[in-house]
Structure 1
Amino acid sequence: MNKLLTLIISLGLLSTPAGAANILKELSVAQGFEVSIFADDVENARQIAVSKKGIVYVGSRKAGKVYALIDHNSDGVADKQILVASDLSMPSGLAIKGDDLYVGEVHRIIRFKNIDKQLKAPKYEVVYDALPTERHHGWKFLRFAPTGELIIPVGVPCNICAEDERFGRIFALDVNTKQITTLAKGVRNSVGFDFHPSTQAMWFSDNGRDMMGDDIPPDELNRLTNEGEHFGFPYVHAGAILDPEFGKGKSTSDYTAPALALAAHVAPLGIHFYNGKQFPSDYKQQLFVAEHGSWNRSKKSGYKVAVATIEQGRVIKYTPFITGFMKNEETLGRPVAFAELADGSLLISDDYANVIYRVSYKKN
């Protein structure tokens, strides 16, 4: 969509796709900010990564596709969409290192070398293929650690179960030696993590178990302090609640409590420390959280983007940033993940409305 088309739409002469048009009217964002559509018709948009040239790559889950979005004139609206790959197994997660795009399928990690230069029908190579094949909580979120390893979470293939050491963990993979290390244990299903820009500490979201009622257990924001820490699953939830089936004989003090216990079933997915220069200083190095929203609650919860304000490694405030993804119990959108553009604006994917939003700050 170019600027002329955007003007035509604003004058009511033409309609955007129903999802994009309807949801923009309902979204409310923190004062001083505005939300626009960077790209629409991006089927099942999940994790986002931006190359050095500014090409935006998007993974999907259900669609099995990877897309490239190009904003040729840098006006904040993608004017070209390219299908990079298809027929993949839940390629939800992706990350860029150097000129290469890494894509996380359920069972393996693949790499597209020099991706910006071979967008149409690019070839890929398999980097690592020893991941479990179970699809339940098998989709990935990827990011490279400051130390260079590729971080890969592997969720449990169940609602609640005690599985072997292949599941319920966050791993670090050396993509050159193929050596894999366990960073965190007792993690039910993390689909988002990031590293604090100053301390380099890893923070991650975790989705709590189902079928314990509307209000328990809480979902979690966690901070990793020591390699190999155990965060409780399936024995203890949110550092305080013993599981009715697996918690017998366990002590909450034996496991790491969350940095912040969220509401139950809000489904925190992508998290992102803002490190750009466009937003006010209050947002610098603060943690954006995408609450994807509940599917199993008598009254829906989540369906928002929030900001966790962090001081000295502790969450001191948790504030809604964008609301309106759900209205009168009707789902309009479901935020998933974040990425920054070079100008400091923030992209947010939505796998329900099939769009990528762009959040910018309106300077006075």
Structure 2
Amino acid sequence: MKIIIRFVLLTLLLSTGVFITMAIPFLSFSNSLLWFFSTFMIGAGLALVAKHCGRGALLLAIPISVLSANALVVHIWPPLVRNSVLRAFNEVAKRDDDYRQLRKQVLPITLQSLEVPAPLQQGWNHGERALEVAHGVSVSLFATGLNQPYALAVNDRGVLFVSLPKIGQVVALVDKDGDGITEETHVIASGFDRPSGLAFKDGILYVATASCVFALHDSDGDFEVERQQVIYDQLPVVKHHWAHALVVGADQQLYLSVGAEIGDEGWQRASVLSLTDSGSVALYATGLYDCQGLAVHPKSGSIWATDDGPESLGFYVHPDELNVLVADGDYGWPFCYGNRLPDVELGSPEICRSTQPSILQLPANSSPRGLAFGDQTRGSSPYQSMLYMVLQGANYGKRQQGFRLMGVPLSVEGRILGWGVDLVSGWSVDGEPWGEPTDCVVGADGALYVTDQRAGCVYRISFE
């Protein structure tokens, strides 16, 4: 009996040393003393088991200690959560009780096969695919066979509209019977120069193209535009960052992003503009290198914006950002980035102190795109209290940070409660992307709709 007790106690000592060694990468602190302590416990445990219980017992104690320590590590830091959390989001999340509770609610992450309904099979040429989804999340195909779909908007009848920049069209996707599948596709407008951002206001569809903003009037809802009106035609044409995000603010004005490139000059570039119905334009925020996502907070009315940062500091250095915009706010580019960090060539601490820091910093090449608040989603409270953010990703070798739909937990007041968590991922497998999620919008049915430029489809994401 004594030898059994001795074996259990010594194996517990050995397991503790193994556990500390495995846990060090997940701790917010680690130092050489901790490593020394853990290895000392392992060595002492091995020696004492061999001395007091025999070599045979040692062969049993080693796998028991390793398996038990690993089981405890997996319980505290589930492996799928480790992969589904971008650790650059928020350093306080490790100690945030709200985030820990959320983490329990989105587990387990499971692999869901993407089924292609019979009516959509003709437009799907990507074979059998699967996506990693959080607990309570389900993904289905809403539309296929689209030519690089980009931005989304929903009208007051619940019809989904999509811009197709490559072919210059805006189309309406109609689900006539409410089964979650598109039955009809109507071309609303064509001949545009790379239409991107879409937004509805008072029943009118506003479309941002590479150089203009149009208003499309369809008063009877028959998908035939009665009048096409040019609201503004002086947008600067940018070679690479030609796409614009478009949103209707709480003040019922249009807000429009304008991208920039290294070396660009001009008052409109790298900004978000406010645009009235009469076509008058004013700067609302500056210093946003490539803003591709705008959303209005449902409570405060503040405008939230993504920013896909430049690679001037190297492909894996310059962080991408999530910002909360304020009137006349300067968000740094080209002098500062992230949390008021000065650019090595152009910036200085003095300049950066006058800029607005990002609310979240994302890993470089996350390529944040669409944004949507989840207050209108149908599902449990965690999903209604999230900001949904599409990270399109960039295909730079194996270090891919995007290709996922993130959920950022928020309080009612809009305070970020912790890290963003993967809700859907798996569009890139072993460094080879097969899909590129781009924009998102909450539909009238409470589901989240996401475009995929590469796969040419729209997903319908529902929540328990």
CA contact (8 A) 2:271 2:285 kept: yes
2:270 to 168, 173, 185: 168
Q: Name the CA shift for 1:122/1:295 in 2 (closer, same or farther; >3 Å).
A: farther
CA contact (8 A) 2:398 2:430 kept: no
Alignment partner, residue 81 of structure 2: none
Shift of 1:124: 1.2
CA contact (8 A) 1:271 1:337 kept: yes
CA contact (8 A) 1:293 1:334 kept: yes
Shift of 1:198: 0.8
Does residue 32 of structure 1 match 2:136? yes
Q: Provide TM-score, normalisation by structure 1.
A: 0.89
Mapped to 2, the partners of 1:112 and 1:15 lie a distance apart of 30
Q: Could you list the runs of 4 or more consecutive aligned residues of structure 1 that deviate by over 6 angstroms after TM superposition?
A: none
Q: Which runs of 5+ in 2 are unaligned?
A: 1-115
1:191 to 292, 298, 313: 292
Alignment partner, residue 129 of structure 1: 233
The alignment-based identity, stated in percent, is: 27
CA contact (8 A) 2:123 2:145 kept: no
Mapped to 2, the partners of 1:304 and 1:70 lie a distance apart of 26
> What residue identity is the alignment partner of 1:148?
Q
Give the helix-richer structure, 1 or 2.
2
Q: How does 1:70-149 map to 2 (within 5 A)?
A: 70-114=174-218, 117-120=221-224, 123-149=227-253
Q: How does 1:213-362 map to 2 (within 5 A)?
A: 213-224=314-325, 226-247=326-347, 250-296=350-396, 299-311=399-411, 312-317=413-418, 318-362=420-464
Deviates more, 1:31-40 or 1:117-126: 117-126
Query: Highest relative contact order (Cα 8 Å, sep 6+), 1 or 2?
Result: 1
Mapped to 2, the partners of 1:282 and 1:135 lie a distance apart of 40
1:57 to 149, 161, 169: 161
CA deviations over 1:61-115 (Å, ceiling 9, x no partner)? 2232111111111111111112222221110111111221111011111111026
Q: Name the CA shift for 1:118/1:180 in 2 (closer, same or farther; >3 Å).
A: same
Instruction: Kindly report the root-mean-square deviation, in angstroms, between the aligned alpha carbons of the 2 structures.
Output: 2.1
Mapped to 2, the partners of 1:63 and 1:250 lie a distance apart of 46
> What residue identity is the alignment partner of 1:198?
K
Mapped to 1, the partners of 2:451 and 2:393 lie a distance apart of 14
Shift of 1:253: 1.8
Alignment partner, residue 67 of structure 1: 171
CA contact (8 A) 1:217 1:241 kept: no
CA contact (8 A) 1:172 1:183 kept: yes
Give the aligned length. 347
CA contact (8 A) 2:218 2:224 kept: no
Shift of 1:33: 1.6
Match of 2:399, SS state, is: coil
Q: Which runs of 5+ in 1 are unaligned?
A: none
Shift of 1:341: 1.8
Mapped to 2, the partners of 1:223 and 1:42 lie a distance apart of 32
Match of 1:314, SS state, is: coil
Mapped to 2, the partners of 1:8 and 1:113 lie a distance apart of 30
Mapped to 1, the partners of 2:387 and 2:146 lie a distance apart of 25
Alignment partner, residue 182 of structure 1: 283
Shift of 1:250: 5.0
Give the strand-richer structure, 1 or 2.
1
> What residue identity is the alignment partner of 1:81?
T
Match of 2:117, SS state, is: helix
